[in-house]
Structure 1
Amino acid sequence: MKYIVIDKSGARGAEKDLPAELAVKEISFPLIHEVVEIERNNRRQGTHSTKTKAMVSGGGKKPWRQKGTGSARQGSTRNPQFRGGGVAHGPQPRDYSKEIPRAKRKNGLKHILAHKANLNSLFVIDGLKLEDYSTKVAYEILKKANILPSETVCFVFADGDQFVEPSVRNIQLVQAMNAKRLQAPELYHNSALVMTSEAFDAVSASFK
C-alpha cells in the first residue's frame, strides 16, 4: 500500500509505502461501512413527520352507509385511501444517533486510509505553504497533479495551514477538513484523498 507524493507545484513524484501505523493486513469493508453509516446517521435531524388519521383535520365521519350502496364499506373520510386522509405507516420524528466505540471508529478510519492507498488515490503534498488566500493557486496544484477536475477530492490540512483551508474550500468538488477532525463519510466517498505533509504526519502520529 503506497501513497503518491506531490510537490508544492503539483508535479507528481515518487510513491512511498504507508507507515506501519497506517498499514493493515486486510481491508475490512464491513467495518468501513459500519463506521461511515453511523457517522452519517448521527448527522440526521430526524425531524421528518407525517400525520396519521388521528392527526389530520376534519370530522372523519362515515362517508356512506354500511350497506346497500354497492361500494366497499368505509368507516371514516380520514382513512389513508381518501383525499385529505392520514398517512399510513409514514415517518415520525426519531433519533438516528448511535454510539460507536472510539477504538472501533479509529480502526475504521485507518482502514479507509489504507483503502485509498490501495486504490492509488492517496496523495500527500510536500511542503505546501501558501503566502496568501488563493483559490486559483490551490486549484492549479490539484489540476497539475491530474486530480481535478475529473475527481471529487477530500482535502485534509493541518492546524498551521492558515491559508490552505480558505483557498481549497471554495473549489468545486473539494471538501476540506482538519486532520484532527477526520470524518469517515467524506474520506471514503470522495474519489481522491489529498493531504498536506503536515496533516499526513499528524494523522500518522494519532494512530501510534
Structure 2
Amino acid sequence: MADLNPEIFNLEVTNHELIKLAYDAYLANSRSSHAKTLKRGEVRGGGKKPWKQKGTGRARFGSTRNPIWRHGGVAGGRTGNENFTKNLSRNAKKVAVMQALSIKNTDKSIITIDSLGIKDGKVKEVLATLKKNGVTSENTLIVVPEKDALTLRATNNIDFVKVVRPTFLNVFDIMNADKIVLVKDSEAQLENWLIGKENA
C-alpha cells in the first residue's frame, strides 16, 4: 500500500461544522421540487358568487374556492419552483473533502491498489480484486483516474460499489463509504485538484 500525502490525508480535523455544511449542501443540491398546491384560481369550480354581496348578514365572499373555505385553494403553499440550493465556495469544498479524507484515513478505511484487474469488463474481475484487498460487501467508494466503458460495465451491477473520478469526490460519498479504494494515478489527480495550482 502506497504512502498517502499527509497534506490531504493526515490533516488535523478541526472544522467538523464545515464537513457537516458540505454534507448538507450535497443533499440540498440533489433535491428537486415536486410538491405543488393549487391556488384559489387553479381549483376547479368556484366561478359563481356564493351569495349576494349585501343583505344576508353574512360575510362577503366572491368564490367558494377562497382559501378559508373547505375545498378552497391553498394560500402560501408549494409552487413547484422552490430552490433548495446551498452554495459553498470552491475552497471550502476542497477543505471539507480533505478533512473528510483525513477522518477516513485515521480510521484506516482507505486502501490503494494498482488496478481493478479489469480485462473483459466482468463483475467477477472487480469482485476478485476487492476481495483480495479485504473489501467484501461494505459500502465501497472506488476512485479511478478515468471512467472508461469497461470499468463502468464491470462495476454498474455491484450494489455496494460507487465509482467516481477524483475531481467528483464529495463529502457525502466519502463519509458514507466504509472503504475508499484509490486506484493508481487517481491520488496524483486528487493532489493536483486539491492542493495543485490548476483549477478543477
TM normalised by structure 2 equals: 0.75
Instruction: Look up the match of 1:100.
Output: 88
Distance 1:183 1:114 in 2: 13
User: Which secondary structure does the structure 1 equivalent of 2:7 belong to?
Assistant: coil
Are residue 122 (structure 1) and residue 139 (structure 2) matched?
no
Are residue 19 (structure 1) and residue 23 (structure 2) matched?
no
Q: Write out per-residue CA displacement over residues 13-52 of structure 1, whole angstroms, 9 at most, x where no aligned residue.
A: xxx6541221211242211111122233223333432223
Distance 1:89 1:200 in 2: 50
Regions of 4+ moved over 4 Å: 60-64, 79-83
User: Which secondary structure does the structure 1 equivalent of 2:163 belong to?
Assistant: strand
The 8 Å contact of residues 50 and 87 in structure 1, kept in 2 or not, is answered as yes
The 8 Å contact of residues 117 and 125 in structure 2, kept in 1 or not, is answered as no
Question: How many percent of aligned residue pairs carry the same amino acid?
Answer: 26
Distance 1:26 1:17 in 2: 19
The 8 Å contact of residues 116 and 125 in structure 2, kept in 1 or not, is answered as no
Instruction: Look up the match of 1:46.
Output: 33
User: Which secondary structure does the structure 1 equivalent of 2:99 belong to?
Assistant: helix
Structure-2 change in CA distance of 1:127 and 1:153 (3 Å) = closer
Q: Greater CA deviation, 183-192 or 25-34?
A: 183-192
Structure 1 residues not aligned, in runs of 5+:
6-15
Structure-2 change in CA distance of 1:60 and 1:32 (3 Å) = farther
User: Which secondary structure does the structure 1 equivalent of 2:141 belong to?
Assistant: strand
Structure-2 change in CA distance of 1:37 and 1:157 (3 Å) = same
The letter for the 2-side match of 1:112 is A
The 8 Å contact of residues 157 and 164 in structure 1, kept in 2 or not, is answered as no
Distance 1:144 1:127 in 2: 12
The 8 Å contact of residues 121 and 191 in structure 1, kept in 2 or not, is answered as yes
Are residue 56 (structure 1) and residue 43 (structure 2) matched?
yes
The letter for the 1-side match of 2:155 is V
CA RMSD of aligned residues (A): 3.1
More helix by share: 2
The 8 Å contact of residues 21 and 207 in structure 1, kept in 2 or not, is answered as no
Distance 1:121 1:81 in 2: 57
Matches within 5 A, 1:53-202: 53-59=40-46, 77-78=64-65, 84-87=71-74, 89-92=76-79, 93-149=81-137, 151-159=138-146, 163-202=150-189
Structure-2 change in CA distance of 1:59 and 1:115 (3 Å) = same
More strand by share: 1
Q: Write out per-residue CA displacement over residues 100-123 of structure 1, whole angstroms, 9 at most, x where no aligned residue.
A: 211111111111111111222212
CA shift at 1:173, angstroms?
1.8
Question: How many aligned positions are there?
Answer: 189
Structure-2 change in CA distance of 1:142 and 1:80 (3 Å) = farther
Distance 2:90 2:35 in 1: 29
Q: Write out per-residue CA displacement over residues 79-119 of structure 1, whole angstroms, 9 at most, x where no aligned residue.
A: 66866333455323222223321111111111111111122
The letter for the 2-side match of 1:46 is S
- Pick 1 or 2: higher relative contact order, CA cutoff 8 A, min separation 6: 1
Structure-2 change in CA distance of 1:139 and 1:85 (3 Å) = farther
Distance 2:151 2:87 in 1: 33
The 8 Å contact of residues 62 and 77 in structure 1, kept in 2 or not, is answered as yes
